[in-house]
Amino acid sequence: MPVPHRNNLALAVLVAAALVALGCVAAPQPEDQAGGPARPVATTTRAAAPKEPLDPDVDGTDTVEEFRSDVDDARSIAEKYWKDQFDKSGLDFEPVAQLIPYERDGEVGCGDQPLGLNNAAYCSAGDFIAYDANWAFGAFQDIGDAFIFYLLGHEYAHAIQRRLNIQKQFTIEQELQADCMAGAYIGDMEKAESLRLEKGDLGELAAGLDAVGDDPGQPWFADNAHGTAKQRTRAFSNGYNDSLEPCDLT
């Protein structure tokens, strides 16, 4: 395994990440040339700075080197996880083509949609995950390394949806499934001892996720709906506890 017991993935920290990082939107894109589904999708995750930064020494996530290492680990663990899943199903697996950090507004585009700051996205037109490097590093410092694993796990899930030609009718369905898949990725790789979680973290994760979710007035069918706190908690927990089966990838 890429990093057995090195990444002390603290879900206590992931709770805080969830508080600020679960927003995603899907934007219409021009058709790509891959011959896949007709609607390429940019799926983004936005986050503001946490209101009360956690102690940056909680899990020792301070330096650019650690950040880069965690990004690489989160990516390679996600690749290993999904390759194993595809292998089990007799499917060929293609890793996400690129992971692209950027620093300026609009520096990277998905189709003709420029990607903004404080953002991460999976872009099906080009098959890449892009992220605002300064924002992600800031969140890594303020929140912790689990943020990076959640971020990569969620965006990678969108890439997997694309590979499986899963295009739900509503954004909320696409997002909750990605939460479930991110939960499965973290939970299964913990069981495989590629990641280590701290005792009690799950309860804290549940409590944290309870605080996120769409505003009460958000219609569930809205283009940018992600799910209520309860729905998101349930989706992530289902995947974390029971792997991919509850994610309903078929």
Give the footprint of Zn ion on this chain (CB under 5 A). 24, 43, 175, 178
- For residue 201 the two structure tokens come to 């973290």
State which residue, 145 or 175, has the beta carbon closest to Zn ion. Answer: 175
State which residue, 54 or 237, has the beta carbon closest to Zn ion. Answer: 237
**Residue 191 and residue 48: Cα distance in Å, rounded?**
31
State which residue, 175 or 188, has the beta carbon closest to Zn ion. Answer: 175
State which residue, 23 or 56, has the beta carbon closest to Zn ion. Answer: 23
What's the half-sphere exposure (Cβ side, CA atoms, 13 Å) at 250?
3
State which residue, 59 or 179, has the beta carbon closest to Zn ion. Answer: 179
* Min separation Cβ 212 and Zn ion, Å: 13
Nearest residue relative to Zn ion (C-beta): 24
The dihedral built from the CA positions of residue 177, 23, 100 and 122, taken in this order, carries a sign that is positive
State which residue, 129 or 178, has the beta carbon closest to Zn ion. Answer: 178
